[in-house]
Amino acid sequence: MARSVARLVVSLLLLVAAWAPTVAQFDPAKVPAQAPGVAALYPEPRVAYTTPSFAPGRADFTSHAELTAFLATTIEGVTHGAVRTMGRSQDGRTIAAVIFARGDPDIAALRRNGRPTVLIVGLQHGNEPAGGEAALVVIERLARGDLAPLLEHINVVVVPRANPDGAEVFRRVASDGVDINRDHVLARTPEARVLIGLMRELDPALVVDAHEYSVAGSWLRNFGGLARPDVLIQAATQANLTPAIALLQDGTFLPALRNAFDAGGLTHDWYFTADRDPRVVNMGGIEPELARNASGLRHAAGILIETRGIGIGRTNWKRRVFSQVTAMEAALRTAAKNHVALNVARDESRRFDLARDSARPLVVRARPSPERREMVFVDPASGAPRPVTVEWRSSLKLIPEVSRPRPWGYVLPPSAMAAARRLVELGIAVDTLGAEARLPVERYRTLATERGAGETILGRFELERVEETIAAGSFLVTLDQRLATLAALLLEPDSASGYVAHRLVALDTAGRVPILRLADAPDTHVLALHPLR
């Protein structure tokens, strides 16, 4: 009975998908033709895919209705898989996760089965479809194909379409214009909150974040060529990553992915982006707000995959999806092979944060190091290589700009309720003070403030030791918790991803920071603490 109902639902979904008006997910007229010399660099791989966008005669990408129907039919009758709606987008579209686990494919059960969990996320940016389509290929192979045996050692959760509204209209950002990939600590969008909720519930050991990068645009302007590599990769790059996570990324996952790309005949490089300065090429950012770096600070290895795809419509479509599938498959096989090491690294990383090691200062602000680097772009007319020397800003070697000792904890005033609640949403423990107390604290003295990127405040501060009366109803965030580093980076006022920089915690009229640091443990009994939920 249940099966026939499921089949009926699937048929209805397929009908809806067939009836839905064809949405032009991109404008083919705006896609420049690829010169034969360039096309020759990207031959179509000899693979067959059966996901919706590969149907014969297709001119656009998989729609939301097709995605929903595909997930239902693919998982139907699969005992080691389940499709769950994790939330809804701003325009009301479902955000689905497919959960794969031997035994009980239920999110609540995953943390108890002892196997490390890999989380794969596609389409945080709606105009980068290859990662989302590759996620469907991987879902098919985990459900009924050659990847299913990996579930003996790992759980896999796939969110093929994190930004369904953006994907439907082929737009980078969410419906309200927010970049979901930069919303992993501010949590303003329901889309980012779905991913943050999954991170909290799953406690994954590896997060794979699939994107596409811009082929022409700034590269043509700055270097007279198109970007060349099939795929760019970067792990979490944050100045405060624990050694366990850095080693897992650099020693295990990145080499495995590179080997897989080489075996598949795919060219690859570090992830890079253009700069306003035309001579400069930046590696991917180091801010905690990015999904990849937030994963790292949550004690998961974070891997970013970027295929050569923005601005070229369906050009090289199969090769782009093949590049993404190659990366995801390598990540899954490597995770399964190293499943014990993954659990060990996560536990070790967590202990590192719990320890509040005074010998390990907090790097509040850092910048990438400048290097000269030879790069090769592609002549858009002939496909000939165009070698250039660039100023490369490496996110692999970071230069600390502001460092401070880790305090015992932070105190926020009662007026910072919104920030306190946001911390709790991220999985950071916050206590409320039940009684007023007079305590020795470190206060920030504001040296200067200026406008940073967007609406942010970029300030310079120094610490002074004073005695302060802490009001009842203030919030206490101690650093003896597993997300201690993430918490500290949100509460230090000069941190670029911090809640002061993003005005979630307002400076007072005199420009003073209302957050205080407790250098030493106070008598917590006197504070009458109770947890904020």
Stretch that binds Zn ion, among 44-52, 123-131, 215-223, 225-233 (CB under 5 A): 123-131
Question: Closest distance between Zn ion and the C-beta of residue 213, in Å?
Answer: 7
Q: What share of the chain is helix, strand, coil (3-state, %, to 5)?
A: 35, 25, 40
Kindly tell me which of 125 and 393 has the beta carbon lying closer to Zn ion: 125
Question: Closest distance between Zn ion and the C-beta of residue 212, in Å?
Answer: 6
Q: Tell me the HSE value of 172 on the side-chain side, using a 13 A CA sphere.
A: 12
Kindly tell me which of 56 and 177 has the beta carbon lying closer to Zn ion: 177
Closest CA to 231 of 276, 275, 263: 263
DSSP classification of residue 90: T
Closest residue to Zn ion, judged by C-beta, is 211
Question: Closest distance between Zn ion and the C-beta of residue 373, in Å?
Answer: 22
Beta bridge partners of 211: 306
Element (H, E) at 365: strand 362-378
**Spatial separation of the C-alpha atoms in residues 402 and 306, rounded to whole Å:** 31
Question: Closest distance between Zn ion and the C-beta of residue 166, in Å?
Answer: 10
The yes or no reply on residue 211 touching Zn ion (CB under 5 A) is: yes
Query: What would the x/- binding string for Zn ion be over residues 162 to 201, using CB under 5 A?
Result: ----------------------------------------
Stretch that binds Zn ion, among 5-13, 153-161, 182-190, 207-215 (CB under 5 A): 207-215
The yes or no reply on residue 125 touching Zn ion (CB under 5 A) is: yes
Question: Closest distance between Zn ion and the C-beta of residue 269, in Å?
Answer: 16
In what order do the strands lie in the sheet containing 94-100?
A: 81-88, 94-100, 155-159, 117-122, 206-214, 301-310, 231-235, 268-270
Stretch that binds Zn ion, among 76-84, 122-130, 471-479, 493-501 (CB under 5 A): 122-130
Contact 286, 294 (CB under 8 A): no
**Spatial separation of the C-alpha atoms in residues 331 and 337, rounded to whole Å:** 10
Contact 26, 60 (CB under 8 A): yes
The yes or no reply on residue 320 touching Zn ion (CB under 5 A) is: no
Contact 515, 462 (CB under 8 A): no
Question: Closest distance between Zn ion and the C-beta of residue 528, in Å?
Answer: 46
Tell me phi and psi for residue 260, to 5 degrees. Answer: -65, -40
Kindly tell me which of 211 and 482 has the beta carbon lying closer to Zn ion: 211
Stretch that binds Zn ion, among 103-111, 127-135, 244-252, 336-344 (CB under 5 A): 127-135
Stretch that binds Zn ion, among 121-129, 220-228, 412-420, 513-521 (CB under 5 A): 121-129
Stretch that binds Zn ion, among 94-102, 113-121, 206-214, 422-430 (CB under 5 A): 206-214
Question: Closest distance between Zn ion and the C-beta of residue 231, in Å?
Answer: 13
Closest CA to 209 of 94, 150, 268, 131: 131
Query: In the numeric block, which tokens belong to residue 345?
Result: 């690294």
Kindly tell me which of 119 and 433 has the beta carbon lying closer to Zn ion: 119
Residue count, binding to Zn ion (CB under 5 A): 3
The yes or no reply on residue 393 touching Zn ion (CB under 5 A) is: no
Q: What's the full length of the chain, in residues?
A: 533
Q: Which residues bind Zn ion (CB under 5 A)?
A: 125, 128, 211
